[in-house]
Structures are given as structure tokens and as C-alpha cells.
Amino acid sequence: MGRAFVYVILGGGVAAGYAALEFARRGGYSRGELCIISEEAVAPYERPALSKGYLLPEGAARLPGFHTCVGANDELLTPKWYKEQGIELVLGTKVISADVRRKTLLTGTGETISYKTLIIATGARALKLQEFGIQGSDASNICYLRNIDDADKLVSVMKSCPGGNAVVIGGGYIGMECAAALVTNKIRVTMVFPEKHCMGRLFTPKIAEFYENYYTSKGVTFVKGTVLTSFEKDTTGKVTAVILKDGRHLPADMVVVGIGIRANTSLFEGQLMMSTENGGIKVNGQLQTSDSSVYAVGDVAAFPIKLFDDDIRRLEHVDSARRTGRHAVASILDPSKTRDIDYLPFFYSRVFTLSWQFYGDNVGEVVHFGDFTSSSPRFGAYWVNKGRIAGAFLEGGSREEYEAISIAVRREAVVTDMGELEKQGLALAIQE
Ligand code: FAD
Ligand code: NDP
């Protein structure tokens, strides 16, 4: 049993949706030549909605409202759209092995799908507590959040304990966004994480202090510098308390876990060159892997960032997934006119009424600016490396201000006087 396609996109997430849009725009395929294979039962959607609009107590986002590519204010790619474009959606189908030399993929249903060109867009999986030796972490009221099934479970568990206690494990993106969503749903939240402050991979202690104070004002309790060791459960196997390494017991009606991800590379280990440092599939500026018929995009791809002197990075953010997805298709369909990708890393988050954006790299000396104390805060930071702006963060900015900081980073604005930079703050970017 088997099918043959010219182009196969493996994975049906954000990068896949934007790759499909680019194929449709360029029209470089015939009906039936292109397919998306996805383990998920639904067409590609904007994953960021799962920890934001999807969890709202009222007027929550639901499909088809947030299929790709609405997140970039582009078309809404519903199943009907794929049909009209002649793109086959092979949904609810897991690929269990890949043979790069033979150009075939084997699905869990025993079908062999062959391709001429493959785009790997398998994204990443959430790390599980059992991988850290925690027993009993498959209880019915412990939630992870990577896909729509996880989000449905989270919503149903949340609705089962109105006014109850949630323990959120992890102080990264999932932890912060889910804690805010739980509070909005009137659930009491305690956040537990090993670092000294939240968002340790990006925030400075000063920036983190602002968000922690804000969350505290919304009723969130922080338990920092420790990890959980086990759970207390009732006779039905539901978690009733979380036990920490320092001996504390935290009552819990539900637990949300966000302790990082691993890129889904396993199908291609030993077949394609990997980036051992970044844990992804190594690609060049055309998003092409060590096999010229295979491309990799999104969370799974480790690609060169021109602005960082071609340093290889694997980014875990939606803008990068959208852009690499589209760029790979441009490279495939029009290689002579497609330059190497020149990507400016961009991360953002929205919680409560707050909203921040970050561009570039958080390396070097940090200068903070703006008002960290007002009820409508507008503050930020520059990272200065080798006398130039390497990264910029802004909370509460306008569209123009965000654009201005992104341009300052893109131009690697020269900084001669750190004191002056601190005084100028946002004005430096706006004057640029
Ligand atoms: P994914 O979107 O994860 O898609 C991977 C796809 O591959 C999935 O459909 C999966 O089922 C499929 N797949 C994997 N293996 C197989 C297989 N063997 N066979 C078949 N199919 C397979 N980023 C931001 O910048 N801002 C945000 O606000 C933000 N919010 C987020 C909120 C949540 C809850 C999550 C989980 C992530 C968020 N992100 C955010 C990160 C962003 O969503 C990811 O960077 C982006 O989804 C990566 O796109 P991708 O296509 O590479 O992978
Ligand atoms: P993150 O890497 O952002 O954060 C993981 C957090 O868990 C860190 O605080 C980490 O601490 C902590 N941690 C690690 N191991 C343990 C442990 N054993 N016990 C307790 N805490 C632990 O990952 P998330 O899970 O929050 O997010 C998953 C993915 O989703 C990321 O790729 C993220 O980019 C994406 N996402 C992005 C969003 C956005 O961009 N707005 C929103 C939501 C998700 P330490 O640093 O010390 O390891």
C-alpha cells in the first residue's frame, strides 16, 4: 500500500501551514502533488492561541477560527482551502519511520508515502515529568500543553475545579501564560520552578521582578529555587497535593506542567546531520538539510542567523516557524532567486493586559529604561554586545515603538556611552 507525492510536508503545525500558503501563492505544483502528513486530527492552526484565546473563560477561540495563517493576518487555511488548492491533508496519521535514501515515509497505518522533496516540520514535544524520574505524573488532573488535545484536557480539568488550587510547574513561557489564564478563570495558582526568577532564559532579574510582582498582585504565589519530587493522590488516582524537594506540601486540584520541549528529530537521527548543541536538524540558509532533497523548518530546524555571524540557532517561536516554512518553499520552487534566510529572532508574549516583544539576542551588558512602576507600564531593556545593540525588549509599546526597537537591533546600533543609552531609553530606537 502506498502513495507518491512530489512534495511532502511532514508535520501539520504552524510551519506546515505557512509552507502550504507559500506553495499556493507560488503555484509551483499540480493538484495531488503536495501533501501534509500530520499526527493531529485537524488542519494546521496557530499554536500560540492554545495558551491564550483558547483558555479564555468567555468567548474562547475555537477552530476553525484560528487555523493558520490568521496569526500573520493572512488567509484562514481551513480544510476547504486545502481542498480548493489541491493540497492533500493526511491527518491523524503518525509517521513512524523515514528512509531518506529511498525517499519514503512509513505511517503508523502501514502506508508507505514517497516524495521527491520533503519538508520536515515535526516541531517539538513537551518534556514529561517522568523523564526527570517523577512517578505518577500521568494522573488525570496533570496537564501539559502542546496540542489541541492537551488544550481540551486543560479546559476540562480547569472547569472541574472552579475556585480551586492549581500548581504550575515551570517558570517559562507555558508556566507564565497558563498561570495568567488560570487566574483569569478564577483558579488560585502557585508557580514552582528551580530558578531564582521566572523566564530565566530571557528575562533579566529586574524584568522578571516586574512580572512576578504583577502576578503576585493577581494572587499568584511563587515558590522558587525548588522542584517537585512526588505527588499525593486520592483513591481514584487524582493528584491532591504536590510535594516539593524542600518538604513542602502544596494542595492541588490540578497541575499544569511546562518544563521545556525536545525537537522531534528522532525519525532522522543517523540519516541527516544534526546540530548537537541545539538539539535540532542542521540546515543551511535555504533551510536545506545535509540531504539536498530534504528541508527542515520551524522548531525542529537549527539554522544560521546572518545577524549573529551565521551562528546556528534552533528557535522555538512562532514567527520563526512561519518565516522558515515560507522560505523553504521559496528555496525549493525558485532556488536561483532565493537568497539565504536573514532572520531577526523575535519573541513575544501576552498575559493579562500586558504585552511584550523581544528582538535579537540577549547577550552582553544590559541597560534598562522606562517606567517599571506605573499601572500602565512601558519599559524595556537593551543588550549591548561589543559596543552595539544586540537585543531589545519592550513591554507596553505601540506598533511603531516595537518596530523601532526591531530596527535598532537589525542595524546593530552603535553604543558609545551606556549612561547616555540609559537616559535615552526608547528614544534611541525612535531616533534611529
Ligand atoms: P508545531 O507547530 O509543533 O507542529 C509540529 C507538527 O508536527 C504537529 O502537528 C505534530 O503533530 C506533527 N508531527 C510531529 N511528529 C510527527 C510524526 N512523526 N508524524 C506526523 N506528524 C508529526 N511562540 C511564539 O512566538 N509566541 C507565542 O505566543 C507562542 N505561544 C505558544 C503557546 C503554546 C501553547 C505552545 C505549545 C507554543 C507556543 N509558541 C509560541 C511556540 C510556537 O507555537 C512554535 O514555535 C510553533 O508552533 C512551531 O511550529 P512547528 O510547525 O515547527 O511545530
Ligand atoms: P521553557 O523552556 O520556556 O521553560 C521551561 C521552564 O521549566 C523553565 O523555567 C525551566 O527551568 C523549568 N524546568 C525545567 N525542568 C524542570 C523541572 N524538572 N521541574 C520544574 N521546572 C523545570 O519551556 P515551556 O515548557 O514553558 O514552553 C514550551 C515551548 O512552548 C517553548 O518552546 C516555548 O518557546 C513555547 N511557548 C512559547 C510561548 C511564547 O513564545 N509566548 C508561549 C508558550 C509556549 P530551567 O530554565 O532552570 O531549566
pLDDT tens figures, 419-432: 999 999 999 998 76
What would the mean pLDDT of 392-398 be, rounded to a whole number?
97
Nearest ligand 1 atom to alpha carbon 52: 32
Enumerate the H helices of 219-334 as residue ranges. 318-333
Distance of CA 232 to the CA centre of its chain: 31
- Name the closest ligand to CA 197: 2
Indicate which residue's Cα is closest to atom 32 of ligand 2: 316
Peptide bond into 64 cis (omega under 30): yes
- Name the closest ligand to CA 66: 1
Contact present, 134 and 228 (Cβ < 8 Å): yes
Residue 334 buriedness (CB in 10 A; 0-12 / 13-18 / 19+): exposed
pLDDT range class, residue 374, cuts 50, 70, 90? confident
Q: How far is the CA of 208 from the centre of ligand 1 (A)?
A: 25
Other Cβ atoms within 10 Å of 353 Cβ, number: 10
Distance of CA 339 to the CA centre of its chain: 25
Which is it for strands 2-4 and 112-114: parallel, antiparallel or unpaired? parallel
Render pLDDT for 147-174 as a digit per residue (tens, 0 to 9): 999 999 999 999 999 999 999 999 999 9
> Is the CB of 317 inside a 6 Å radius of any atom of ligand 2?
yes
Q: Is 80 helix (H, G, I), strand (E, B) or coil?
A: helix
User: pLDDT at residue 295 above 70?
Assistant: yes
Closest by CA to 69, choosing from 326, 356, 300, is 326
Q: How far is the CA of 3 from the centre of ligand 1 (A)?
A: 26
Contact present, 299 and 314 (Cβ < 8 Å): yes
What pLDDT score does 361 carry? 98
Cα distances (angstroms) measured from residue 404 to each of 136, 154, 353, 396, 412: 48, 37, 22, 14, 12
Contact present, 384 and 417 (Cβ < 8 Å): no
Around ligand 1, the residues with Cβ closer than 6 Å are 11-16, 37-40, 47-48, 50-51, 94-95, 121-124, 145-146, 264, 267, 298-300, 316-319, 321, 347-349
User: pLDDT at residue 337 above 90?
Assistant: yes
Q: Which residue has the cell 537521527?
A: 269
Contact present, 286 and 251 (Cβ < 8 Å): no
DSSP symbols for 117-180: EEEE---EEE--GGGGT-TTTT-TTEE--SSHHHHHHHHHHHHHSTT-EEEEE-SSHHHHHHHH
What would the mean pLDDT of 347-375 be, rounded to a whole number?
95
Indicate which residue's Cα is closest to atom 28 of ligand 2: 260
What pLDDT score does 431 carry? 79
What would the mean pLDDT of 16-28 be, rounded to a whole number?
97
Q: How far is the CA of 13 from the centre of ligand 1 (A)?
A: 5
Residue 47 buriedness (CB in 10 A; 0-12 / 13-18 / 19+): buried
Q: What angle do CA 77, 70, 324 make, to 5 degrees?
A: 85
365-382 burial, b at 16+ Cβ within 10 Å, e below that, comes to ebbbbbebeeeebbbbbb
Q: How far is the CA of 181 from the centre of ligand 1 (A)?
A: 20
Q: Which residue has the cell 502576578?
A: 215
User: pLDDT at residue 1 above 80?
Assistant: no
> Is the CB of 64 inside a 6 Å radius of any atom of ligand 2?
no
> Is the CB of 323 inside a 6 Å radius of any atom of ligand 2?
no
What pLDDT score does 163 carry? 96
Q: In this structure, what C-alpha cell is assigned to residue 9?
A: 510536508
What pLDDT score does 128 carry? 96
What pLDDT score does 7 carry? 98
Mean pLDDT of the chain: 97
Q: Which residues pair with 166 in a beta bridge?
A: 189, 254
What pLDDT score does 432 carry? 67
Q: How far is the C-alpha of 153 from the C-alpha of 146, rounded, in Å?
A: 11
pLDDT range class, residue 135, cuts 50, 70, 90? confident
What pLDDT score does 82 carry? 98
Peptide bond into 69 cis (omega under 30): yes
What pLDDT score does 274 carry? 98
For residue 232, the surrounding DSSP H or E stretch is strand 228-233
Q: How far is the CA of 32 from the centre of ligand 2 (A)?
A: 39
Share of the chain above pLDDT 90, in %: 97
C-alpha torsion angle, residues 11, 15, 17, 22 (rounded to 10): -120
What would the mean pLDDT of 201-222 be, rounded to a whole number?
98
- Name the closest ligand to CA 325: 1
The pick from 46, 173, 319 for probing ligand 2's pocket by mutation, whose C-beta has the most ligand atoms within 8 angstroms, reads 173
Q: How far is the C-alpha of 320 from the C-alpha of 306, rounded, in Å?
A: 14
- Name the closest ligand to CA 132: 2
Render pLDDT for 244-279 as a digit per residue (tens, 0 to 9): 998 999 999 999 999 999 999 999 999 999 999 999
- Name the closest ligand to CA 49: 1
Residues 6+ apart with CB under 8 A from 35: 3, 5, 7, 8, 9, 87, 88, 89, 90, 113
